[in-house]
Structure 1
Amino acid sequence: MISMKTLAAALLAASMASTGLAAVTADEAAKLKSDLTPLGAEKAGNKDGSIPAWSGGYTKVPAGYKSGQPRPDPFADEKPVLTITAANMAQHADKLDEGQQHLLKKYPDYRINVYKTHRTAAAPQWVYDETFKNATRAKMEGDAVVGAYGGIPFPIPKTGAELIWNHSLRVRPVAFRHAFNSYTVDSSGNASLASGAVNEITLPYYKKGGSPEQMKNGAYFQNVQSVTAPSVRAGELLMYYDQLDNNRPAWQYLVGQRRVRRAPTICCDTPNFVNSGVDFFDQVFVWFGPSTNYDWKIVGKKEMYIPYNNNRLVMAKDKEALGKHFINPELVRWELHRVWEVEGTVRAGKRDVRPKRKLYLDEDTYIAVLGNTWDAQGTLWHTSIGFPWMQFEVPAVGMEVWATLDFIKGTYTFTPVGDQSSQIQTMDEPWPDSYYTPEALSRKGVR
């Protein structure tokens, strides 16, 4: 029997889906040129100055630097201003998420090194211009985004779902290529290589000179992933699109079958076969939609210690970063920033083995830097940690390196790029749409 509460929720969802959510007013959007940064964060610092005012971000490109080279850490000489351990955790608990508190309680050698805060978030001017336009033209129709292009879709967010889309459509280069390794670490601290691969990613949403009309709820993120390790999987290919209608079609080339077929679901609570099933596909990049399994609400905005400006960790060799139960704390830089706290609960009629989750999104970039999930018994199950780093040649703060820890099994996964001869390389021109077709995937397959 359907309860009145469930029926009311269904009617509300149907109403929202049919009418869409309105964009903000012109007066509200004008704040993007005064009190707010061009992407929608509070421009001012906090009361005690521990979070400074935003002054344009970090855009200085080192002399002679070429994309694909290791990106140096401009704050390498700085020392921690605070170290949080189990002994002093209670004094700082209001600025720590559930996952970090759990790690501090469980592992006596876990620590959080907090450094001076630098608000390095930046974007090209044309992205700022499109973000300003998005404020009054972008809206949600059901779970889909319409009217958005080339910038943050909802710089003055009103709902949790809008914030999730801000993360998915965060500022990135139009195309980039990067090789990576993905490791799993068991409860005894033994690390093994789960996968090695190369991603070739195009973001039509960030192709300069386009328009919302050209997107038409189409693909905003396209990827061809070529597997290089382990040897038993070398030569496999995976291709998928993330679309503005909140769908993700995918195809797979398997060497043994020598053909392309529609891939199994690479979404939501499907175990992530790239990481040997230790985590789930929607925990890639801390959050990796589609977002239709959950109803999202804004809990609020708060000051928290989060990973930030982690160029040193991103450049580190894989073995240097892999600890027994967690990433080497000496390589991780934490800073105090304002974050959006968003809570997801499984939507009526949907199924997910994690009925509740929280995401913490950096105010300046909308990157989901921390994410926690709970199981059906209300036990904290996972924490995912993203490691934002400066991609100054864009300019932007990127996040392609992350870890997910399973507190129930005592295992974790980590996806670094430090051992690669060429690190994340931005491209001047995107791959054409014809590159992201089943036919092209078939031609690319190993024969």
Structure 2
Amino acid sequence: MNKKKWIAAGALALMFSTSSVFAAVSVQQAERLKEDLTPVGGERAGNGKDIPPWRGGLSLPPLGYTKAGQHHIDPFPGDKPLFTINAKNASQYRAYLSDGQMAMFDVYPDTFKIPVYKTRRTAAAPEWVYENTYKNAVRSELANNGSSLLYAYGGIPFPVIDLDDKEAGLKAIWNHITRWRGTYLQLRASEVAVQVDGNFSPTTVQQEVEFNYYRQDRTIEDLNNILFYYLSVTKAPARLAGGAVLVHESLNQADEPRQAWGYNAGQRRVRRAPNLAYDTPIAAADGLRYADDTDMFNGSPDRFDWKLLGKKELFIPYNNYRLSSNELSYNDILRPGHINPEYTRYEKHRVWVLEATQKAGVRHVYSKRRFYIDEDTWGIVLADQYDNQGDLWRVSTAYMKTYYELPVTWTTLDVFHDLKARRYHVQGLSNEEMGEIDYSSPPPGERYFTPAELRRRGRR
């Protein structure tokens, strides 16, 4: 069958197959997105204390921001911490901290801190994303036991979730996987593995991502089963320069899993990379990040059972403009054990708590994962990961901010901690580069993201 017809015909066949289909909500339920819920499914109201109502988010740049891709100007330069949580007073705030955050205080009692600022609900997206999200609410479905997303396009697929829905957890993770992150981006940034003594050696990569799912000139039938295209070329150090990776990520993971290729500059060969998924170690991360750790979670959800536990108020990283400032160097940010808390910003927000438990009969290095998902974006901001003995092993954090020029609310740094090894990995460092994510260019299309292009771009 022609791949371009996979939704129109293949998905219809899935509806009547033996695999269960998890359907969308009623029009009446979807209307909540225009009433008590935000356009992507968060609660519009505040908590009457320290979480304000959502009033549209931050969608205009501040004065002085003149060029797409330049380092962001902090829109809240006068904000100061309301208080700081440390190992000595963490027990007072336990109700608003994750297990992973508490573990960080235990492992780094003298240095780890959480500076808490005024909560600003800056999350925002374009109006057309909101419109598509409303449409998705009444049409999106899951099939193949949750491994395939059907009938969704250009917005959050399941913005209205009922906790009594037995597939609420799967819907929540698909909301994260497909959340708004722009249409096409270019970014030159570094990633580092920070050793116990604080030493690090950056690997610099040029990344391009086209979110095919968010192409405004497409329809559901045109998606060709592609969620996004990803191309990454290593620029430094010299011994690694020219190596490249290409990924075609799919929406129907059951029938057509992710396709990936790698280019080895020394051998000048492109090879398929069929194992670039699940718990495959990422070479540049020095063993501190696995394939499905990237973006806090990515890929097929089929190796875990998913349960949405509910919502809670939590101190999470938000509006981290200082952390991405070009006035800072990597040496300013990277410290033994964790990044420098002086430059981080946390706020109290509501999060969904999602638990993933390894299925019987499948293999993964994590026996359980607990994700904390920002209600205003569906992005995972904190992740606690447990080893096969049931011990908390790794803690991941996405330091969020709003890219107001688009707008989109996403991460500026992702940090992955190994509590036992006392090392950590950081993705997204761009302080010493010419700029940050650049969303200004039009998407090049699928002909650009091919193995042949991978070979051309990867040449030294």
Q: By the TM > 0.5 criterion, same fold? A: yes
Which of 367, 378, 399 is the matching residue for 2:379? 367
CA shift for structure 1 position 290: 2.6
Q: Which among 129, 132, 138 is matched to residue 131 of structure 2?
A: 129
Superposed counterparts of 1:225-240, under 5 Å: 225-240=232-247
Residue aligning to 1:424? 437
1:191 positional shift: 2.0
State the SS of the aligned residue for 2:19: helix
* CA shift in 2, pair 1:116/1:31, >3 Å: same
* Distance of aligned partners of 1:17 and 1:101 in 2 relative to their CA distance in 1, 3 Å threshold: farther
Correspondence for 1:8: none
**Pair 1:201-2:236 in alignment:** no
User: Does structure 1 conserve the Cα–Cα contact (< 8 Å) formed by 2:324 and 2:412?
Assistant: no
The equivalent position to 1:271 in structure 2, one of 281, 290, 295, is 281
Per-residue CA deviation, residues 230-287 of structure 1 (Å, 9 max, x unaligned), is 2111011110021101322100110122121102522111111121222212112222
Which of 333, 344, 352 matches 1:332?
A: 344
> Paired residues, what number?
431
CA 1:16/1:88 → structure 2, altered by over 3 Å: closer, same or farther?
farther
- Matched to 1:153, the amino acid is P
Aligned to 2:249: 242
Q: Name 2:222's counterpart in structure 1.
A: 214
> Which structure 1 segments of 5+ residues have no match?
1-13
- The separation in 1 between residues aligned to 2:154 and 2:411, in whole angstroms, is 18
Aligned sequence identity (%):
38
Are 1:307 and 1:334, in contact at CA under 8 Å, matched by a contact in 2? yes
Q: Residue 408 of structure 2 aligns to which amino acid in structure 1?
A: A
Residue in structure 2 matched with residue 34 of structure 1 by the alignment: 35
Asked whether the equivalents of residues 233 and 457 of structure 2 are also in contact (C-alpha less than 8 Å), the reply is: no
1:275/1:413 contact within 8 Å kept: yes
Tell me, in whole angstroms, the C-alpha distance in 2 between the residues paired with 1:115 and 1:285. Answer: 24
CA displacement at 1:299 relative to structure 2: 1.1
Indicate yes or no: 2:155 matched with 1:154. Answer: no
Q: Deviations 1:109-165 (Å, cap 9, x if unpaired)?
A: 211100000000111111110000000011101211011111111101341111111
Distance 1:242 1:400, change over 3 A: farther
Matched with 2:6 is none
Written as runs of structure 1 = structure 2, the 5 A alignment for 1:26-425 is 26-48=27-49, 50-63=50-63, 65-107=66-108, 108-142=110-144, 143-158=147-162, 159-193=168-202, 195-216=203-224, 218-246=225-253, 247-315=257-325, 316-415=328-427, 416-425=429-438
Task: Provide runs of 4+ in structure 1 moved above 3 Å.
Answer: 14-17
How far residue 209 of structure 1 moved from its aligned partner, in angstroms, is 3.5
3-state DSSP of counterpart to 2:213: helix
Deviation at 1:188, TM superposition (A): 2.4
Q: Report the aligned-residue RMSD.
A: 1.7
Q: For residue 376 of structure 1, report the CA deviation from its aligned partner.
A: 1.3
Determine the C-alpha separation between the residues in 2 that align with 1:213 and 1:349: 35
* Alpha-carbon distance, 1:301 to partner: 0.5
Provide the residue aligned with 1:5 in structure 2: none
Secondary structure (helix, strand or coil) at the match of 2:201 reads strand
SS of corresponding position for 1:19: coil
> Structure 2 counterpart of 1:146, which letter?
L
Output one character per residue of 1:57-82: Cα deviation in whole Å (capped at 9) or x when no partner: 01122345211100111112111112
In structure 1, what residue type is equivalent to 2:357? T
Quote how far apart the aligned CAs of 1:428 are. 3.8
Shift of 1:90: 0.8
Shift of 1:400: 4.6
SS at match of 2:52: coil
Amino acid in structure 2 at the alignment position of 1:372: D
In structure 2, stretches of 5+ residues that fail to align are: 1-14, 163-167
Measure the CA separation in 2 of the matches of 1:138 and 1:400. 30
| Corresponding residue of 2:12 | none
Instruction: Identify if the C-alpha distance between structure 1 residues 351 and 94 changes in structure 2 by more than 3 Å, giving closer, same or farther.
Output: same
Q: Which amino acid aligns with 1:71?
A: H
Q: CA deviation at 1:15?
A: 11
Displacement after TM superposition at 1:320 (Å): 1.2
- From the superposition, tell whether residues 419 and 286 of structure 1 become closer, same or farther in structure 2 (CA, over 3 Å): same
